[in-house]
Chains A and B, each alone.
Chain A
């Protein structure tokens, strides 16, 4: 049991750090200049290396750590919630896995700029993963809010509902620059909130008391 708590805390910490990595990756995309030309062997200090390798690496690390956070959440709470929560979890986990694979494909392919097959498969994996993760987070959040163990769990559930909704609402809005990238904030914040909740309470928490009918 002690080992499990440690694992949950480690994955919780990873989810928080991963959210920061994810945000840095997103904001960096707006901040780091786009090179005028493509260097075939870019030095590690070049904007191209940062854009094609460092930022995608941060994004992959972020999404992969969120998958770890999801695993920790399930390890802690799977006995508490019902089938709706489990379905949401599986959807979110599958989505994050697909998204990680897609981002890895882009990373290994130099930002999707070489060839056609790998970028295409990566893009499809990313698209499917994003859709699944979005639906999964929504279901997870709704199931959690419906039966919150604590106020902290309610907050996490609410964050998981809000993040995909904000993402869908802002999807058609094409805002350039850092502001555009900050639309990722609710997503990163939701996983950071989960990580914080798991870090502070790595063991199953007692259910919240039923409201007194009196």
Chain B
């Protein structure tokens, strides 16, 4: 009759009814994104499918650490993202127990993939076809690895190991440390977050340069603007020369790493997405109501991607658009689009696409997919899907390397 039989009205009616039921219990705790349907990918590439055997292009830019570099920005603006024509090129298995394998890194002019298996073995794989070049003992339970200047740094609660990339031999070890995040290598130093301190080591010798005590565990640091930024109980800016603390800001509920981009330090928290000047002045805060935390953003020029994680219910990916109409020096960021994602993490922006791991809801454990979203409208392009969980991806020109929780290291590529 007038309409409840149409799909649109039926959905709206159900949405409104469900919303009313949830009103009392969940007000302010669900996502503020009006989108309530998971994205429909244009193409799905299954990571458990048959690899084509076609080689991945070698010689592209490196992705040597989590989020691509020491700023944690996650940006590759000059490269083309893997597109709807992408295929699974190769797959190599590493140990998936007793811990999960690490996220991969691509280094040595895009030719080598480094990944730590669940048994703590560091694997060097050819980026072209996934064949193993060498393996070496490291530490298990590492989130990700960091490759820099001929060394791979692996850190976990079992310690820190630096391994030479030419031979696989250990350069130095620090088994006494309990790392709480992926190390950052920058300008001859390696910064290691731990439970109670941030350490700086000489990248080659492993000599400790300084130690900054912190209030509890800290996240992976970000380096930029002439400082090392680390988050935990507070956001701190540390002088890389001597470890002196330049400024501290007490931020509530920071569980994600800081990001440095375009003269600004970003940190996601339960208080919203916060932006600081290099001197610690808080520039702006983006929030969508109480009870909604924001994760570390991917900053891509005039667009910023961040995941809104409500207290209850599924998360959403938000794209914020920089609006300079209000005048400098403080740009305003306003929501441009958002997408229902379930549990999600934004990892990278390559060319005109953003990449985030999202729920795919396909496997016994739920399943995850690395989903691309078009910058201008959030259109869902290719999704690389597994019935398991995914580690953070490593992206290069028209290609990506993905690691699943069951130990599959996968090379995917194509436009």
Contact = CB atoms under 8 A, between A and B. Distances in A.
B5 A167 contact: yes
Nearest to B22: A116
Interface stretch (B55-63, B141-149, B336-344): B336-344
Contacts of A112: 12-13, 15-16
B377 A171 contact: no
A133 interface: yes
A74 B8 CA distance: 32
Nearest to A171: B5
B16 A176 contact: no
Nearest to B23: A116
Nearest to B379: A36
Interface in A36-57: 36-41, 46, 51, 55-56
B20 A116 contact: yes
Interface string B112-138: 000000000000000000000000000
Measured as residues with beta carbon below 8 angstroms from the partner, the interface class of chain A is: 35 or more
Contacts of B6: 26, 29, 59, 181, 184
A168 B85 CA distance: 46
B329 interface: no
Interface string B16-52: 1101100100000000011111011000000000000
Contact of A127 (B4, B37, B40, B373): B4
A134 B5 CA distance: 12
B334 interface: yes
A64 B373 CA distance: 39
Contact of A37 (B7, B12, B334, B339): B339
B39 to A, nearest CB: 4
Given A116-B20, A127-B13, A95 B339 contact: no
Contacts of A184: 3, 5-6
A181 B7 contact: yes
Interface in A98-130: 99-100, 103, 106, 110-114, 116, 119-120, 122-123, 126-127, 129-130
Contacts of A26: 3, 6
Interface residues of B, number: 37
Contacts of B23: 116
Nearest to B9: A126
Given A37-B377, A40-B335, A46-B377, A130 B16 contact: no
A178 to B, nearest CB: 11
A134 B3 CA distance: 11
A37 B41 CA distance: 11
Contacts of A95: 1-2
Contact of B377 (A35, A122, A181): A35
Given A26-B6, A113-B34, A116-B23, A38 B15 contact: no
Contact of B2 (A29, A120, A129, A176): A129
Interface string A78-99: 0000000000000000011001
Contacts of B377: 35, 37, 39, 46
Given A112-B15, A120-B16, A120-B19, A38 B7 contact: no
B378 interface: yes
Given A40-B337, A59-B6, A123-B16, 11 more contacts: A29-B6, A30-B7, A37-B373, A41-B336, A46-B377, A55-B8, A59-B3, A96-B2, A106-B12, A126-B3, A181-B7
B35 to A, nearest CB: 4
Given A34-B37, A39-B378, A133 B7 contact: no
Given A103-B3, A167-B1, A39 B16 contact: no
A130 B3 contact: yes
Contact of A119 (B7, B12, B319, B336): B12
Nearest to B40: A36
Interface string B54-86: 000000000000000000000000000000000
Contacts of A63: 2-3
A143 interface: no
Nearest to A114: B34
A163 interface: yes
B380 interface: yes
Contacts of B373: 36-37
Given A29-B7, A130-B2, A180-B7, A37 B378 contact: yes
19 contacts: A29-B8, A30-B7, A34-B40, A35-B35, A35-B379, A37-B338, A38-B34, A55-B8, A59-B3, A99-B2, A100-B2, A106-B12, A116-B19, A116-B23, A126-B9, A127-B4, A129-B2, A134-B1, A181-B7
A123 B12 contact: yes
A184 B35 CA distance: 26
A93 to B, nearest CB: 12
A73 interface: no
A187 interface: yes
A99 B4 CA distance: 10
Contacts of A59: 2-3, 6
A35 B339 CA distance: 9
A36 B380 contact: yes
A110 B17 CA distance: 16
